Amino acid sequence: MRETIAQALKNALKAQDKLRISTLRLVNAAIQDRDISNRGTGKDPVNDDDILQILAKMVKQREESAKAFEDGNRLELAQQERDEIEIIREFLPRQMDEDAVRKAVTDAIAETGAAGLRDMGRVMALLKERYTGQMDFTRASALVKASLQ
Three-class DSSP labels, the chain: CHHHHHHHHHHHHHHCCHHHHHHHHHHHHHHHHHHHHHHHHCCCCCCHHHHHHHHHHHHHHHHHHHHHHHHCCCHHHHHHHHHHHHHHHCCCCCCCCHHHHHHHHHHHHHHHCCCCHHHHHHHHHHHHHHHCCCCCHHHHHHHHHHHHC
Provide the number of structural domains found in the chain: 2
More confident residue, 21 or 116: 21
Domain enclosing residue 50, as ranges = 2-89
- Asked whether 99 and 93 are in contact (CB, 8 A), the reply is no
Interval 1-27 mean pLDDT: 93
Residues 57, 23 share a domain: yes
Quick one: pLDDT at residue 148? 85
The pLDDT of residue 65 is 95
Measured distance CA(108)–CA(100) in Å, rounded: 12
Q: Final residue of a domain: which of 46, 72, 89?
A: 89
pTM higher than the cut 0.75: no
Q: Tell me: pLDDT of 114 over 80.
A: yes
Judge if 104 and 85 occupy the same domain: no
Residue after which a domain boundary falls, among 58, 89, 120: 89
Give the mean model confidence (pLDDT) for residues 117-136.
85
Instruction: Determine which of 57-61, 74-78, 112-116 has the lowest per-residue pLDDT on average.
Output: 112-116
Rounded distance between C-alpha atoms, residue 25 and residue 112, angstroms: 40
- Indicate whether 13 and 84 sit together in one domain: yes
Same domain, residue pair 27 and 63: yes
Shared domain check, 85 and 40:
yes
Segment 5-14 mean pLDDT? 94
Asked if 84 and 112 sit in the same domain, the reply is: no
Q: Which amino acid is at 58?
A: M
pLDDT at 8: 94
